[in-house]
């Protein structure tokens, strides 16, 4: 009796299409499990490093660094090519900073280094040592929102919200830099942050509202 077509050997070594599919399924299942396990290992490593500073010998080109993020300093071992964006999201679980274009064009990943706005996707994590890093999670004081955060809510300065953390971080810097003299000036100094939903008029209104409130608080 002739064997079923899908179990016939496809070549002289005797492997079949059915065996190939079986092996492919096994490999796919292994990759599916490996991804969360890999992430869990990263988080575990970070916690261990917080308990006891790691001792590295340069094996694999890894570097031990200490980052001050939102007032907390944590130590971790990273590849020197890791960006600040990936370190914040994958190693600190601060996912408020968004990965948009990942090439410095959209501004969604904007954070502050020593009060100055930077694109974290173009900044290496090792470059942020000995600097004060502030992310969107570090703006509020307890349950009290930062004035810019409150103004974005009041003025409906967002739609889908994906670009909003970067917009807010840039708006805080824009105000502190003194670039809120007119709508056109605000647009110019916020132009590095793109909004695919087109909420620009409301974003400008939010920056103006927050600037007025913060000026009143200072006075």
- Residues contacting residue 86 through CB under 8 Å, at least 6 positions apart: 99, 125
Higher-pLDDT residue of 49 and 59 is 59
Whether pLDDT at 6 is above 80: no
With a pLDDT cut of 70, the percent of the chain lying above it is 72
Residue 59 pLDDT class (50, 70, 90 cuts): low
Q: Determine the pLDDT at residue 79.
A: 96
Q: Which CATH superfamily is domain 53-138 in?
A: Beta-grasp domain (3.10.20.30)
Q: How does the average pLDDT of the chain come out, rounded?
A: 83
Is 120 a residue whose pLDDT tops 60? Answer: yes
Q: pLDDT-based confidence at 80, cuts 50/70/90?
A: very high
> The domain 141-219: what is its CATH number?
1.10.150.120
Handedness of CA 92, 161, 180, 214 (dihedral sign): negative
Give me the residue spans of the domains in the chain. 5-48, 53-138, 141-219
Q: Which pLDDT score is estimated for 24?
A: 52
Task: Report whether pLDDT(131) > 80.
Answer: yes
Task: Give tens-digit pLDDT for 171-199.
Answer: 999 999 999 999 999 999 999 999 999 99
Q: Which of 26-30, 87-91, 105-109 has the lowest mean pLDDT?
A: 26-30
Long-range CB pairs of 174-178, under 8 A, 24+ apart, other chains included: 174/207, 175/148, 175/207, 175/210, 175/211, 175/214, 176/115
**What pLDDT does 34 receive?**
38
Q: Would you say residue 32 has pLDDT above 70?
A: no
């Amino acid at each position: 009796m002739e064997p079923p077509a899908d179990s016939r050997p496809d070549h002289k070594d005797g492997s079949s299409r059915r065996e190939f599919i079986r092996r492919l399924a096994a490999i796919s299942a292994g990759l599916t499990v490996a991804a969360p396990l890999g992430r869990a290992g990263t988080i575990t490593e970070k916690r261990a490093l917080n308990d006891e500073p790691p001792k590295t010998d340069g094996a694999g080109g890894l570097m031990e660094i200490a980052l001050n993020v939102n007032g907390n300093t944590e130590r971790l071992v990273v590849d020197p090519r890791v960006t600040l964006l990936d370190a914040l999201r994958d190693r600190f679980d601060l996912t408020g900073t968004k990965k948009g274009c990942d090439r410095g064009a959209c501004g969604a990943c904007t954070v502050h280094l020593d009060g100055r706005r930077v694109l974290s996707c173009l900044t290496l994590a090792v470059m942020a040592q000995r600097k004060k890093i502030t992310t969107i999670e570090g703006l509020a004081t307890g349950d009290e929102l930062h004035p810019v955060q409150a103004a974005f809510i009041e003025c409906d300065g967002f739609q889908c919200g994906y670009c909003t953390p970067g917009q807010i971080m840039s708006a805080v810097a824009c105000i502190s830099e003194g670039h809120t003299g007119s709508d056109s000036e605000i647009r110019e100094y916020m132009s590095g942050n793109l909004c695919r939903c087109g909420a620009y008029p409301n974003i400008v209104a939010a920056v103006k509202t927050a600037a007025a409130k913060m000026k009143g608080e200072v006075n």
